[in-house]
Amino acid sequence: MTVAGGVQLWAEERGDPAAPPLLLVMGANASGVLWPEELVDLLAARHSVVRYDHRDTGRSSAVLDRAPYAVADLARDALAVLDALGIARAHVVGMSMGGTLVQLLLLDAPERLRSATLLCTSALGAGLADVAGTSGLPGPAPALLEYWQTMGGDRDRAAELDWRVEHWRLLGGGVLPFDAAWFRALEERAMDHAGSVRGPVAHALADQAGLDRGAELAAVRVPTLVVDAPADPVNPPPHAAHLAAVVGGARLVRVPGMGHALPPPVHAPLAAAVSAHTAAADAG
């Protein structure tokens, strides 16, 4: 689909088209196919699930070099995906930076959201969006910050796969067992989908203006679920509790052992939490 500025976005629908639509919004520098197939299938049992590639990831247009944009512009891309598919209102799930984008949708386009689910993320103005450094909440683990310095390096396929698998090990948080082969297969699919072995870095370079809006979240009235990932090394506790406290009417649910990743052990509890939340929102 083509959106503002001639940017083309790749998207995929799965499940019964007549079922309640659910839009999955991935994190920074991550294509839509990093939503694991098994998790998407679980969600598709009740929803028409849409996942898509942000600009500068996967099969979507790479544009940052010729047309710089802000992180906030990626939230407008999410709405453009819904528009292109003829979806007036959807349940929306955002992970990591995707959770930041969904918070912007809660503030700027609440009429388009049936419900929101936020996972592995922090409140606007906190965490990686704490540009002023005033939130007082903890930042990412030092080992992760150090590893990020090598992001986007010039590596062949084998070396890049090794880098990405080690990245997932660090993101996983060390509580749940780490299945390196499973994450390698996930990243092999992502590379094949993108047609490139080079890791995307554009979102780390995008303008962060307009993200310091945490004070506005108290006015949210869209049913919102915050998923607490207690082993998350990017947004460690108490980020999830803080987010649930500042978003109007939000509920908090914990997935034990979950870090900043979506390995098989979290698929069933996460899908169950999301589906219960969306069912309650639809009933209400």
- Per the listing, tokens 């460690």 go with 236
Active site (catalytic) residues = 96, 232, 260
Q: Could you tell me which of 53, 57, 63, 48 has the C-alpha nearest to residue 10?
A: 53
| DSSP codes joined into one string, 113-148 | EEEEEEES---TTSGGG-TTS-S------HHHHHHH
The one-letter amino acid code at 209 reads: A
Assigned token pair, 64: 């940052």
The CA-atom distances, in angstroms, between 147 and each of 144, 150, 168, 197 are: 5, 6, 11, 18
Instruction: Tell me the longest C-alpha to C-alpha distance in the chain.
Output: 51
C-beta of residue 36 within 8 angstroms of C-beta of residue 186: yes
| DSSP codes joined into one string, 152-195 | T----HHHHHHHHHHHHHHHH-SSSPP-HHHHHHHHHHHHHHHT
Distance CA 228, CA 168 (A): 18
The one-letter amino acid code at 130 reads: D
SS3 39: helix
